Chain A
Amino acid sequence: MFASLARRIVYTLPIMAGVALVCFLLVHLAPGDPLVSVLPPDASEDLRQQLIKLYGFDRSLPEQFLSWVWRALHGDLGTSIASGRPVAAEVYKAVGNTLMLAAVATLIGFFFGSLFGFVAGYFSGSWVDRVASLLSIVGVSVPHYWLGMVLVIIFAAQLNWLPATGAGPGGSTDWHWNWEHVQYLILPAVAKSVVPMGIIARTVRALVAEMLAQEFVVGLRAKGLTDYGVFRHIVKNVAPTALAVMGLQLGYLLGGSILIETVFAFPGTGFLLNSAIFQRDLPLLQGTILVLAMFFVLLNLVVDLVQGTLDPRISRA
């Protein structure tokens, strides 16, 4: 068990190093001026050179990379060029908000995705299957930012039932789990949940249909198990894969859909990335991408370990 855990942790180290290098290079190799947020384009070249030196952009890329990694290892992701605030605090706060939104969206997606998937798989080939499959295809296909805008137009602008934007009446730092605040989560969470819902539904449907065709199900029925008993066995067999897909979807949602969070002005990582990209705020961009990528790597590790616990054959493989 410990050997397996240690092996998997060791596997993640080169991935993390690679992620750090790629996210550093990506933001530095993109065209544009890293000082665009603090230096108007009409500023003189003298002033530009002065600031390049003050911000350390005159150093070589390897030098900048090593210094950034060294500080990151000590928990310091630098200071945002645009806002002057520490990147780590900005990113962790945004991650917290996105985590909350992603968790709610994943729960919605997982619940409805599993429901549609099981129903479709169990009644494979029937009209119930076709309706459930149609809903899952719609979920996968519909652009979620478009759906977000439609939801805002209907439920905020026209009906005035739910707020259009933001993360609570006083901002996300003032969050409480009551209706006054939770209503701000509903529209973005629903808009975000449609893709995972569709993907989970399709996965579960395929797995359930496949399981039902297997001999062990016939064996279980022959032993006199009720439908509920058979269903429990199928759930147990489907769960590891469904969980893995859910984990990946949660990771995907944690990436903070830039479009959804921008449409709803929701202060998560997507909103932060959008801001960092438009202001070309390199430390903020690097820090956000790094934290998200690390989160994704760690989430995969956790999913691997949970899968192994649920199905010991996986950890032995």
Chain B
Amino acid sequence: MPARLPLTTRVSLVVSAAALTLSLAVPALAQEKVLRIAMTAADIPRTLGQPDQGFEGNRFTGIPMYDALTQWDLSKADAPSVLIPGLATSWAVDAKDKTKWTFKLRPGVKFHDGSAFNADAVVWNVQKVLDKEAVQFDPSQVGVTASRMPTLRTARKIDDLTVELTTSEPDSFLPINLSNLFMASPAHWQKKFDAAASATPADKSKAAWTAFAADASGTGPFKMTRFVARERLEVAANKAYWDPKRVPKIDKVVMLPMPEASARTAALLSGQVDWIEAPSPDAMAEIKSRGNVIYSNPQPHVWPWQLSFAEGSPWLNKDVRYAANLCVDRESLSKLLGGMMGIPKGTVPPGHPWWGNPKFDIKYDPKAAQALMGKAGFSAAKPLKVKVQISASGSGQMQPLPMNEFVQQSLKACYFDVEFDVIEWNTLFTNWRKGAKDPSANGANATNVSFAAMDPFFAMVRFVSTKTFPPVSNNWGYYGNETVDKLIADARTSFDDKQRDAALAKLHAYIVEDAPFVWIAHDVGPRAMSAKVKNVVQPKSWFIDIATMTMQ
């Protein structure tokens, strides 16, 4: 029988063994860098390539998992986010026929399933939303995609790395619009289609898209590894990503839908997540006091009053429009929101390629505003009655009730008597397309719907063109004239990037000078992150690049 070791020796051996095991295990555990994100969405945005849930969808299940032919530069916090090549390396419009574009594709790119990205894949992805005869046509992806590239009609393969895209009319905005068309893997989808047990091709296609959404394949810096509907999406680093600068350093990202702001805050404070979107302003101090970091930057997200130019509207008088723009105390409004607001000078900020140096300076000048109102025939004894349709809440609407009440009080000093028609958010959205002359406006002569201003059509054209009167698009107030239509046409047919931006700058300057809006705020997209998350660049964009972040 072997001699027993003394107790102290046995204990020290056990402790040493445990320490050795731990020392081997801990680095292995520490190696996996996991970033956990609480989104504001109530469900995981769709993962099949064309996300829903607005730009939050593009931010979390679009850009990380997929690429488009063109993309936004998200690498700078101090400069406007501009369009750069993505899966296309270059593009040009046909010299003779301005409805034809040639896109040269990036060679050597692979989808997550290993299949090659090429011209066939581009054609297939265009057809998935535009060609009703194509087997992969998916109505559920049409709305969120076709609306963001309204003039694209067809795609044709020239060779493996060249495609020709055609538009319904000459449209220089096409490359910008294409940042919304994400490339899903046709080969991976085909496997799902072949495996589907449904009877008809249409049902098989539907089943294939459902299966694809649960096991997706794009070309992005992260690839899907686990999907639990409505609960969590897990993506892992794609170490073979084509852009070496964006090969992720974080191993895994977990995305959790948490629509309730207090739940997100609690999840961050309890260490359950590392990043929350849109913390509520009254929780900012507590969040910061626990060592977390708040990131924000003005983004192309405009929070205005859109004015009616229908017959009888009080806003037909330009002095009144100028007065309202000069009478909003935006600095104080920003304080009310804990600083989480950008102060607008127009739809885009100074320094933006479309800024255009408008002569009307939007600022707080109540005396000038009072003078303009006096000139228009109004005074404290005879205020101007205006009615604004607003929502009590809503995605992207920031804090609509306190903000609107603040503006109401601000404008009172300049002889405006503001009445609100508060309605449910989806109803306000629906009314937006019906226009100021529709009974749904309920007598309102302004509406308060915030909007994304990422591309020229959505930032400006749809609000000021006479071709976008209701119900065609969102020119709710029936604003428009020949001059502005001409400026739009000039921009749409300027195919050199610099010339196009110059034309858009003229359009923007004209809009600011004619003031069809009261520009009140720009959202700054606040998000709170644990101090463990490093290399965070919050660009002047709706989007943010997770691929370049690191974890301590």
User: Which listed residue (A33, A47, A54, A149) contacts B147, Cβ 8 A?
Assistant: A47
With a CB–CB cut-off of 8 A, which chain A residues contact B228? 170-174
Q: What's the Cα separation between A280 and B426 when bound, in Å?
A: 8
Q: Is there contact, CB below 8 Å, between B46 and A165?
A: no
Q: Is there contact, CB below 8 Å, between A172 and B43?
A: no
On chain A, which size bracket covers the interface?
A: 35 or more
Q: Write the nearest CB–CB distance from B131 to chain A, whole angstroms.
A: 13
Contact with A along B407-446 (1 / 0, CB 8 A): 0000000000000000010110110110000000000000
Q: What's the Cα separation between A170 and B48 when bound, in Å?
A: 22
Within 8 A of A (CB), among B157-208: 206
Q: Write the nearest CB–CB distance from A315 to chain B, whole angstroms.
A: 42
Q: Is there contact, CB below 8 Å, between B139 and A54?
A: yes
On chain B, which size bracket covers the interface?
A: 35 or more
Q: Is there contact, CB below 8 Å, between A42 and B473?
A: yes
With a CB–CB cut-off of 8 A, which chain B residues contact A271? 42, 230
- Which of B94-102, B258-266, B311-319, B512-520 lines the interface with chain A? B258-266
- Which of B118-126, B269-277, B326-334 lines the interface with chain A? B269-277
Q: Write the nearest CB–CB distance from B43 to chain A, whole angstroms.
A: 5
User: Which listed residue (B230, B260, B458) contacts A272, Cβ 8 A?
Assistant: B230
A39-B266 in contact given A79-B206, A166-B256 (Cβ < 8 Å): no
User: Mostly helix, strand, loop or mixed at chain B's interface?
Assistant: mixed
Q: Is there contact, CB below 8 Å, between B263 and A165?
A: yes
Q: Write the nearest CB–CB distance from B520 to chain A, whole angstroms.
A: 19
Greatest chain A CB density within 10 A among B139, B229, B472 is at B229
Q: Is there contact, CB below 8 Å, between A83 and B272?
A: no
User: Which listed residue (A43, A157, A263) contacts B143, Cβ 8 A?
Assistant: A43
With a CB–CB cut-off of 8 A, which chain A residues contact B258? 165, 265
Flag whether A93 is at the interface (Cβ < 8 A). Answer: yes
With a CB–CB cut-off of 8 A, which chain B residues contact A48? 433
Q: Is there contact, CB below 8 Å, between B230 and A51?
A: no
Residue of A nearest to B140 (CB): A84
Q: What's the Cα separation between A271 and B228 when bound, in Å?
A: 14
Residue of B nearest to A164 (CB): B266
A166-B143 in contact given A32-B427, A36-B429, A42-B474 (Cβ < 8 Å): no
A31-B427 in contact given A84-B46, A275-B230 (Cβ < 8 Å): yes
Q: What's the Cα separation between A170 and B143 when bound, in Å?
A: 32
Residue of A nearest to B148 (CB): A40
Flag whether A55 is at the interface (Cβ < 8 A). Answer: yes
Contact with B along A74-106 (1 / 0, CB 8 A): 000001011111100010011000000000000
Flag whether B232 is at the interface (Cβ < 8 A). Answer: yes
Flag whether A251 is at the interface (Cβ < 8 A). Answer: no
With a CB–CB cut-off of 8 A, which chain A residues contact B262? 149, 152, 263
Q: What's the Cα separation between A35 and B144 when bound, in Å?
A: 11
Flag whether A38 is at the interface (Cβ < 8 A). Answer: yes
Q: Write the nearest CB–CB distance from A15 to chain B, whole angstroms.
A: 30
Q: Is there contact, CB below 8 Å, between A42 and B260?
A: no
Q: What's the Cα separation between A33 and B231 when bound, in Å?
A: 26
Q: Is there contact, CB below 8 Å, between B472 and A45?
A: yes
Q: What's the Cα separation between A281 and B144 when bound, in Å?
A: 15
User: Which listed residue (B139, B144, B259, B270) contacts A164, Cβ 8 A?
Assistant: B270
Q: What's the Cα separation between A170 and B45 when bound, in Å?
A: 18
With a CB–CB cut-off of 8 A, which chain B residues contact A64? none
With a CB–CB cut-off of 8 A, which chain A residues contact B150? 44, 47
Q: Write the nearest CB–CB distance from A20 to chain B, whole angstroms.
A: 24
A41-B43 in contact given A79-B206, A171-B228 (Cβ < 8 Å): no
Within 8 A of A (CB), among B285-307: none
Residue of A nearest to B150 (CB): A44
With a CB–CB cut-off of 8 A, which chain B residues contact A278? 42, 259
Q: Is there contact, CB below 8 Å, between A160 and B267?
A: no
Greatest chain A CB density within 10 A among B146, B272, B426, B471 is at B426
Residue of B nearest to A280 (CB): B426
Flag whether A37 is at the interface (Cβ < 8 A). Answer: yes
Q: Write the nearest CB–CB distance from B55 to chain A, whole angstroms.
A: 10
Flag whether B501 is at the interface (Cβ < 8 A). Answer: no
A152-B430 in contact given A38-B140, A54-B139 (Cβ < 8 Å): no
Flag whether A116 is at the interface (Cβ < 8 A). Answer: no
Q: What's the Cα separation between A261 and B474 when bound, in Å?
A: 36
Q: Is there contact, CB below 8 Å, between A42 and B426?
A: no
Q: A45-B433, A84-B213 are in contact. List 5 more A-B contacts (CB 8 A).
A: A32-B426, A32-B427, A40-B54, A42-B451, A156-B272
18 A–B pairs (Cβ distance < 8 Å), ordered by A: A33-B429, A36-B430, A37-B52, A38-B140, A40-B148, A41-B432, A42-B462, A44-B147, A47-B146, A47-B147, A93-B229, A160-B271, A164-B269, A166-B231, A262-B259, A265-B257, A265-B267, A267-B231
Taking beta carbons and an 8 Å cutoff, which residues of A are in contact with B? 31-33, 35-48, 50-51, 54-55, 79, 81-86, 90, 93-94, 149, 152-153, 156-157, 160, 163-167, 170-174, 262-265, 267, 271-272, 274-275, 278-280
